[in-house]
Amino acid sequence: MKAVVIRAFGAPAGLEVVDLPAPVPGPGQVVVATEAIGVGGVDAVIRRGALAAHGFREGHLLGSEVAGTVTAVGEGVDSSWTGRRVWAFTGLSGGYAEQAVARVEDVLALPDGLSGADAVTLGGSGAVAHFALRKAHFAPGETVLVRGAAGSIGITAVQLAARSGAGAVAVTTSSEERGARLRELGATHVLDRSGRSGAPDAPTGFDVVIDVVGGPGLPDALDALHADGRYVLVGVVGGQPPEDFGMRLVHGFRKSLTFATFSADTVPGPDLQAVRAEQFAEAARGELRTVVHDVLPLDRAADAHRAMDAGEVFGRVVLTP
Ligand SMILES: NC(=O)c1ccc[n+]([C@@H]2O[C@H](COP(=O)([O-])OP(=O)(O)OC[C@H]3O[C@@H](n4cnc5c(N)ncnc54)[C@H](OP(=O)(O)O)[C@@H]3O)[C@@H](O)[C@H]2O)c1
C-alpha cells in the first residue's frame, strides 16, 4: 500500500511516499481502508524531529486520525464492523496510508451524510473543544476568549461557546479576513494575535480563556481574566510560555484565578466517543460546522505540511489516498 513516512527530519521535503506491506489487524484491532486522513499540527512537530526524544524516529509513518471503511477485524472484534464507514484514531502513527490500523475502542461509526473529510476535521479536535469548555466551567452569559481560534479546536470552541449563550466570544487571529470567517462561526469580537483590538466595544477582560497558542503572550492573556476567571491551555502552537508565567497568577492573587491544562488523554475513552458521536450527528445535520481548508492527494502530504508551516491553513488540511 501507499504510505507517507518521514525520510529525514526537518522540512516538508523530508516526507517520502513509499510502498509498505498492508497492515494485518492484531487482537482487538480493525483495518480501515482510508478515504480521508487528517493532517494535524502534531504531525508537523513530529516531522521536524522535536519529539525524537519521545521515540519518534526517522522512518516514522505519520497520521493520527482517518475515516474510511473497515476491511478486516482482528481476534475478539465483532465481525459486524466489516464494511462499516468509520472514523478512527490511530494513535500518533499510521494514518498517512491507504490502510490504517486502530483499536476497536478508538473507532466510531459515521452517520449518513457526514463526509470523511468532515469527520477527520472534527473527530480529534471537537472533543478537545467540548471538554476544555467543561474544564473551564464555562456558563451561559460569560465572556470567552479563544486564542488561536483559526484551527480545528478553536473553530469548534467558538461555535460551542456561541450557541451555549456566551455573553461574548472573542478570538485572536492573524488577519481581518480570518477574523471575518470566525465571525460567521459565532465570534463576536476579533483581536489580533497579541489580544488587541481597534474596536471600542471589544471586551478587555474574560471569564474564560481557551488557549491553543500558549507562547510568550500567555501571561498577558492571564492578566485579562476577570475575578474568578478560568484559563485552560489546550495547545502550544505558539511555543512554550515563559517559565515564570505562574508569577502573573500570584500577582493576580486577589482575583482568585484558575489556570489549568487540558489533555484529552485524561478523558475516559467512552466519554470522548460519546461526545464525538453527538458532534458527528450535529455536523451531519448542519448544526456544527467543520472547516476543511483543502483536500490533497496523499502523495502531496509535503504540500499539506508546507501550507501548515506557512500559516496558510484555516481549519484543517485533509489527504485522500
Ligand atoms: N489538549 C489536547 O487534548 C489536544 C489534542 C489535540 C491537539 N492538541 C494541540 O492543539 C494544537 C493544535 O490545535 P489546532 O489544530 O486547533 O491548531 P492549529 O490549526 O495548529 O493552530 C491554530 C491557530 O493558531 C494560530 N497560530 C499559529 N501559530 C501561532 C503563533 N506562533 N502565535 C500565535 N498564534 C499562532 C494560527 O491562527 P492565526 O494565524 O489566525 O493566528 C492557527 O491557525 C497543538 O498544540 C496540539 O498539540 C491538544
CATH number, domain with residue 310: 3.90.180.10
CA of 103 to the centre of ligand 1 (A): 27
pLDDT of residue 167: 97
pLDDT of residue 69: 98
How confident is the model over 223-238, as pLDDT tens digits? 999 999 999 999 999 9
Percent of the chain with pLDDT over 90: 98
**174 pocket-lining for ligand 1 (C-beta < 6 Å):** yes
Q: What beta strand segments (E) does 96-205 contain? A: 99-103, 107-109, 143-147, 168-172, 189-191
The average confidence (pLDDT) of the chain is 97
- In the chain, the number of structural domains is 2
For residues 98 and 214, membership in a common domain is answered with no
**153 pocket-lining for ligand 1 (C-beta < 6 Å):** yes
Residue 278 inside a domain? The answer is no
Q: Which long-range contacts (CB under 8 A, 24 or more apart) does 195-204 make?
A: 195/145, 195/147, 195/220, 195/221, 195/224, 197/170, 202/170, 203/143, 203/145, 203/168, 203/170
> Which residue shows C-alpha cell 473551564?
136
Residue 218 inside a domain? The answer is yes
> Which of 247, 264, 281 finishes a domain?
264
Mean pLDDT within 54-80:
97
CA of 239 to the centre of ligand 1 (A): 10
Least confident of 164-173, 192-201, 301-310: 192-201
Residue nearest to atom 41 of ligand 1 (CA): 173
Q: Residue 316: exposed, middle, or buried by beta-carbon count in 10 A (0-12, 13-18, 19+)?
A: buried
For residues 16 and 132, membership in a common domain is answered with no
Query: Is 90 exceeded by the pLDDT of residue 200?
Result: no
Give the pTM: 0.97
**170 pocket-lining for ligand 1 (C-beta < 6 Å):** no
Mean pLDDT within 43-52:
94
Rounded to whole angstroms, the Cα distance separating 149 from 190 reads 10
Query: Is 90 exceeded by the pLDDT of residue 25?
Result: yes
For residues 158 and 202, membership in a common domain is answered with yes
CATH number at residue 192: 3.40.50.720
CA of 211 to the centre of ligand 1 (A): 9
Residue 102 makes CB contacts below 8 A (sequence gap 6+) with 29, 30, 32, 66, 88, 89, 90, 91, 94
Map 231-286 to HEC letters: EEECCCCCCCCCCCCHHHHHHCHHHCCEEEECCHHHCCHHHHHHHHHHHHHHHHCC
How many residues would you count in the chain?
321
Atom of ligand 1 nearest to the CA of 264: 3
For residues 295 and 249, membership in a common domain is answered with no
For residues 166 and 137, membership in a common domain is answered with yes
Residue 91 inside a domain? The answer is yes
Least confident of 45-54, 147-156, 287-296, 297-306: 45-54
Rounded to whole angstroms, the Cα distance separating 279 from 111 reads 10
Residue 306 inside a domain? The answer is yes
Residue 274 inside a domain? The answer is no
Residue nearest to atom 19 of ligand 1 (CA): 151
**232 pocket-lining for ligand 1 (C-beta < 6 Å):** no
pLDDT of residue 311: 96
For residues 212 and 149, membership in a common domain is answered with yes
pLDDT of residue 198: 83
**132 pocket-lining for ligand 1 (C-beta < 6 Å):** no
**263 pocket-lining for ligand 1 (C-beta < 6 Å):** yes
Query: Is 90 exceeded by the pLDDT of residue 79?
Result: yes
How confident is the model over 158-168, as pLDDT tens digits? 999 999 999 99
Residue 283 inside a domain? The answer is no
Of the candidates 71, 61, 214, 78, the one whose C-alpha atom is nearest the C-alpha of residue 147 is 214
Range of the domain at 241: 125-264
Question: 89: number of CA atoms within 13 Å, CB side?
Answer: 16
Atom of ligand 1 nearest to the CA of 315: 19
CA of 214 to the centre of ligand 1 (A): 9
| Cα four-point dihedral sign 222, 160, 34, 272 | positive
pLDDT of residue 206: 98
For residues 99 and 157, membership in a common domain is answered with no
- Are 89 and 102 within 8 A, CB to CB? yes
Residue nearest to atom 35 of ligand 1 (CA): 238
How confident is the model over 261-280, as pLDDT tens digits? 999 999 999 999 999 999 99
For residues 66 and 131, membership in a common domain is answered with no
Residue 116 inside a domain? The answer is no
**101 pocket-lining for ligand 1 (C-beta < 6 Å):** no
C-alpha cell at 240: 512554550
CB atoms within 10 A of CB 264: 18
Query: Is 90 exceeded by the pLDDT of residue 317?
Result: yes
CA of 319 to the centre of ligand 1 (A): 19
Rounded to whole angstroms, the Cα distance separating 93 from 66 reads 11
Give the pLDDT band of residue 147 (cuts 50, 70, 90): very high
For residues 129 and 249, membership in a common domain is answered with yes
CB atoms within 10 A of CB 42: 17
Residue 310 inside a domain? The answer is yes
For residues 131 and 235, membership in a common domain is answered with yes
- Are 32 and 70 within 8 A, CB to CB? yes
For residues 97 and 39, membership in a common domain is answered with yes
State the DSSP H helix or E strand holding residue 183, giving kind and residue range, or none if neither: helix 176-184
For residues 105 and 132, membership in a common domain is answered with no
Residue nearest to atom 22 of ligand 1 (CA): 151
